[in-house]
Amino acid sequence: MGGKKLQNQTILITGGTGSWGRALVARLLEEEPKEIRIFSRNESLQVEMKQEFHHNPKLTFIIGDIRDKHEIMQACQQVDYIYHLAALKHVPICEQQPDSAMKTNVLGTQHVIQAAIKHHVKKMIYVSTDKATHPSSTYGMTKALGEKLVVHANLRETSTRFVCVRSGNVLGSTGSVVPIFKQRIENGLDISLTDTRMSRFFLTIDDAITLLLKATEESRGGEVYVSKMPACSIQDLAHVLIDELATEPIQIHETGIRPGESLSEALISEFESVHSLNLDDYHYVILPPYAIEGLHEAYASCIPVDFHSYDSDHALMSKTAIKDMLQKGGFLQ
């Protein structure tokens, strides 16, 4: 990013104590910002993170909940950029408590948008998920609504720009499949898999943060940025981890698909592919189906995509490629 855009800026990260937030903070500190505010609900994670960053004076920790409009309004004073990461993201939990998912992922996002507009924030970057593309779960539906709110906010009378990034599964993020499988293998326990046909998109945390910074630097407002990322069979992923890490025989047991879970994910739907463009070798951009001033013109030179939808069950990685990906992410040590 060359340090120009975020140098001496005040940045707010909602839900900043998770794996995305920590990696983002590490990268943002290289940009020499004025202040990074980490806004989240979990006190003990904030204490841990404070120690992890050696009590860096540029980091300010704020206990708060995006469900509380007053708290997020206060946290946004004099802020230049917002990274909105806070969400309820575990599919089974959102299925059991759809009201909570709605409050955090939809109303909470609306509160962040309102706070950004009120305090003349330059840009808000919303982190979405492939589960928002063809939502089969409460989580996916609430994140899809969040995307709609963020893109639509660019039609308001405001100088603030709003942009989405849509990501697959970040390798090794909190509570995700790789650390869970790895821990079971290391303890000599069998692995449970809901369905052996399941496939998912994966990217490394570094690629995820690069996507966020690209959106910060280049977006006009109203786009959804999507990384071109590999997909793999979860069963193949489990086999590679077993082959590489197991010291005794480990079995894979199929337990049956959970409520709201889908066999594959899509990063771009059939409806969206009509408005999707090749941005560069690593990214696509989805434009909204309605006009936002200057937006479509800005991408006039980009080539439209040549697919109907971008799904995780097409062109799956080989086991060798999965092994390389896990090695790069540091999961086979």
Within a domain: 152: yes
Condensed to tens digits (0 to 9), the pLDDT of residues 241-295 reads: 999 999 999 999 999 999 999 999 999 999 999 999 999 999 999 999 999 999 9
pLDDT of the residue at 1 = 45
Residues with catalytic roles: 131
pLDDT of the residue at 312 = 95
DSSP-derived 3-state class of residue 99: helix
Tokens of 59: 């980091």
Burial 68-98 (b: 16+ CB within 10 A, else e): ebebbeebbeebbbbbbbbbbbebeebbeeb
Within a domain: 240: no
- CATH code: domain of residue 136: 3.40.50.720
Which domain does 290 fall in, by range? 10-168+205-228+267-308
pLDDT of the residue at 268 = 97
Tokens of 309: 């939808």
Residue type, 130: D
pLDDT of the residue at 74 = 98
Q: Are 69 and 114 spatial neighbours (Cβ–Cβ below 8 Å)?
A: yes
Within a domain: 303: yes
| Number of structural domains found in the chain | 1
Within a domain: 255: no
Q: Which residues of the chain have pLDDT under 50?
A: 1-3
Condensed to tens digits (0 to 9), the pLDDT of residues 226-241 reads: 999 999 999 999 999 9
Within a domain: 35: yes
Within a domain: 42: yes
Within a domain: 19: yes
- Answering whether pTM is above 0.75, one says yes
Within a domain: 283: yes
- Please give the order of strands across the beta sheet that includes 123-129: 59-63, 35-40, 10-14, 81-84, 123-129, 161-167, 224-227, 283-286, 276-278, 303-304
Q: What's the CA gap between 172 and 177, in Å, rounded?
A: 7
